[in-house]
Amino acid sequence: MKFENEEVQLLFDVYQEDLKKAIDHLKTQLLTIRAGRANPHILDKITVDYYGTLTPLNQMANISVPEARMLTISLWDASMIKEVNKAILASDIGITPTDDGKIIRLIFPQLTEERRKELVKQVKKIGEDSKVVLRNSRRDANEAIKKLKKDNNISEDEQAECEKEIQKILDSSVQLVDDLLKDKEKEILEV
C-alpha cells in the first residue's frame, strides 16, 4: 500500500522490514532443527578454529547428502579433520562424527516418538517467540502513528486507516508463521 504522507510511508516500510526480518529469523531457526533427515543447514552455526580464525564449516568444506539420513563433509584442507570433529562434538546437534581420514560422516539416527514430540514443542516455542516479536513491531508502529496524529501530521481518519492496515499486515505475517510451523511440525512427525 502506498501513502501520500512520506512519514507514514517510511513508517510502513520500516514496519514491514521488521516483520520480514522476524520471519527470516524464524525460517533460519527452523532449518537448524533436525527432523530425522539429513539437512546440511544443521551445520550452518558451526564454526571451526582455522589457523586462529573462527571460520564457518560450510566455508571450508563441501557438505553433501548422499543418503536420506547421512551427511558427508569433504574438507578442502584435510589437516583440519580433528578440529572439525571437535567443533561438531562441541555443538548442540547431538550427532557424533565418524571419519576415515578424508571424509567426515554424520549419521542421523531415527528419531523416537518422544524426541519428535520434544522437537514439536521446541518448534511451537520458537513460533510463539516469533509472534511476540511481530506483535511488538505492531505496537511500535501503532505508537509511531499515534505520535504522528498527536503532532498533527495526520488526521484521525488517517490514523484509523493506518492502524487497520498495520493490523492487516500483522495478520498475514502471523498466518505465514503458522504455515511455516505447520510444515515443520509435519516434517518432524513424518516417519
Mean pLDDT, residues 34-59 taken together: 83
Asked if residue 5 has pLDDT above 90, the reply is no
* Residue 25: C-alpha distances to residues 16, 131, 178, 180, 190 (Å): 14, 12, 14, 12, 24
Residues 10 and 101 in one domain: no
pLDDT of residue 74: 92
Mean pLDDT, residues 48-68 taken together: 88
Polymer length in residues for the chain = 191
Residues 12 and 102 in one domain: no
Residues 183 and 162 in one domain: yes
Residues 49 and 139 in one domain: no
Burial 11-24 (b: 16+ CB within 10 A, else e): bbeebbebbeebbe
- The answer to whether residue 1 sits within a structural domain is no
| Domain assignment of residue 27, given as a range | 6-32+112-189
- For the domain that residue 61 is a member of, what is the CATH number? 3.30.1360.40
Overall domain count for the chain: 2
Q: Are 40 and 65 in contact (CB under 8 A)?
A: yes
pLDDT, mean over the chain: 88
The residue with cell 516434517 is 187
Mean pLDDT, residues 98-126 taken together: 87
- Global pTM exceeds 0.85: no
Asked if residue 1 has pLDDT above 70, the reply is no
pLDDT of residue 139: 96
Q: Which of 92, 107, 122 is the last residue of a domain?
A: 107
Residues 181 and 131 in one domain: yes
The proportion of the chain whose per-residue pLDDT surpasses 90, expressed as a percent, equals: 39
Between 14 and 3, the more confident residue is 14
Residues 98 and 119 in one domain: no
Between 111 and 130, the more confident residue is 130
pLDDT of residue 146: 92
